[in-house]
């Protein structure tokens, strides 16, 4: 029987040098940039923006000589812009949030 000679490895041979030992986070191939929660938050932000714009609709008059004070209601002047700004803040948060591993 032929026996193959066994090679012994030195303990330092298998370890990389200190400069190569730095941890580098790599992304897996085929992995999405956003997680499930990011997309859920984006849809919530989009809903806030859509509702805000829908609340601004209306208040006009069919007769151009008649003034309709409904155009200056709380809903159109205050509530709708707040909802739109909140939607944009949610969108920014959803984009910047790191997905969970």
62 is a domain residue: yes
Say what the pLDDT of residue 14 is.
58
pTM: 0.66
Q: Cα(first)–Cα(last) distance of the chain, in Å? A: 52
Q: Is residue 84 in some structural domain? A: yes
Structural domain boundaries, residue 81: 30-96
**Is residue 55 within 8 Å of residue 24, measured between CB atoms?**
no
- Residue 22: the pLDDT is 62
For position 61, what pLDDT does the model report? Answer: 77
Residue-level pLDDT at 15? 59
Identify whether 1 is part of a domain: no
Q: What are phi and psi of 68, to 5 degrees?
A: -110, 110
* Torsion from C-alpha of 55, 60, 62, 67, nearest 10 degrees: 150
Q: Given the structure tokens 């069919």, which residue do they identify?
A: 62
Looking at the domain assignment, is residue 56 inside a domain?
Answer: yes
Question: How many distinct structural domains can be found in the chain?
Answer: 1
Per-residue pLDDT of the chain (101 residues; tens, 9 = 90+): 666 666 665 555 555 555 555 665 665 676 778 889 999 999 999 999 999 999 999 877 788 888 888 888 999 999 999 999 999 999 999 999 988 76
Q: Is residue 22 part of a domain?
A: no
Query: Half-sphere exposure of 35 toward its Cβ, with a 13 Å CA cutoff?
Result: 7
């Amino acid at each position: 029987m032929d026996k193959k000679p066994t090679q012994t490895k030195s303990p330092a041979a298998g370890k990389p040098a200190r400069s190569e030992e730095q941890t580098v986070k790599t992304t897996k191939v085929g992995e999405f940039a956003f997680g499930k929660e990011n997309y859920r938050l984006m849809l919530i932000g989009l809903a806030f923006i859509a509702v805000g714009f829908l609340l601004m609709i209306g208040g006009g008059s069919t007769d151009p000589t008649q003034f309709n004070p409904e155009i200056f209601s709380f809903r159109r002047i205050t509530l709708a812009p707040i909802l739109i700004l909140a939607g944009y803040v949610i969108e920014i948060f959803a984009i910047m949030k790191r997905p969970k591993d």
